[in-house]
Amino acid sequence: MAGAGILIVDDEADIRQLLRVYLGAQGYRTLEADSGAAARRAVDREVPALALVDLGLPDEDGLALIRQLRERVRMPIIILTGRGETVDKVAGLELGADDYVTKPFDLRELLARIKSVLRRAETAPAAPAEPEALHFSGFELRLREHRLLAADRTEIPLTHGEFKLLATLAKSAQQTLSRDAILDLTHGRGAGPFDRTVDMQIARLRRKLGDDPKLPRLIRSVRGVGYMLACPVHP
């Protein structure tokens, strides 16, 4: 899979340089991130063919980043870890990582593992295609066009954040999502744990959907937990 983009997430510049030079010589194109936040920005710009993720990041635990990346995109992940504890490796694999390599690693072994993981990814069944639109309570949410249409086919203007939030709720219709889960799926946890962005966006969405804020029938609050789109949704 020569030429594939490989994301290197490691706060050690010498490790990133070593991997950049070595993988580049093997025909791979590399992307780099020195933190979890930088990794999310890189993935937002381009989904790589594979990510190498160090568990000891400066801004957050690498295990948390792996979970977030798994929720955002479909790509193989190999853990790079200097930790000796088996529990970290097991936790990473349970979160969806495909393999792990312990530092200090042999470059040839790492290359072999990268090739093996990429081969498995190529032969894995493709993920179900996302529908072009989701329909609920007379509304049509056009996922590819980022548009919301009312029952009379007029467009209801949404901000980018409002659209992402509504799409997230619609894809998990009739299931309660916590504020943290919503932030993970829509903002990549760029906001703090007490951020009220979700609550404000919910209030705006209710107004635009004509949902009574005192007795909402579409977007319901679950006290102490979060929110849910309470109506059935179909493609």
Which of 63-72, 108-117, 129-138 shows the lowest per-residue confidence on average (mean pLDDT)?
63-72
Question: What is the CATH number assigned to the segment(s) 133-229?
Answer: 1.10.10.10
Report domain extents, the chain. 5-123, 133-229
Which of 19-28, 125-134, 156-165, 216-225 shows the lowest per-residue confidence on average (mean pLDDT)?
125-134
Query: CA 67 → CA 15, 93, 123, 157, distances in Å?
Result: 23, 10, 23, 32
Give me the mean pLDDT over the 205-213 stretch: 95
Give me the mean pLDDT over the 10-19 stretch: 95
Per residue in 217-226, is it b (16+ CB within 10 Å) or e — as a string? ebbbeeeeeb
pLDDT at 195 over 70: no
Q: Which two tokens stand for residue 145?
A: 């066009």
Partners of residue 78 on adjacent β-strands? 52, 99
Regarding the domain with residue range 5-123, which homologous superfamily does it belong to in the CATH classification?
A: Response regulator (3.40.50.2300)
pLDDT of residue 207: 96
pLDDT of residue 179: 84
The contacts of residue 85 (CB under 8 Å, 6+ apart) are none
- Whole-model pTM: value is 0.54
pLDDT at 1 over 70: no
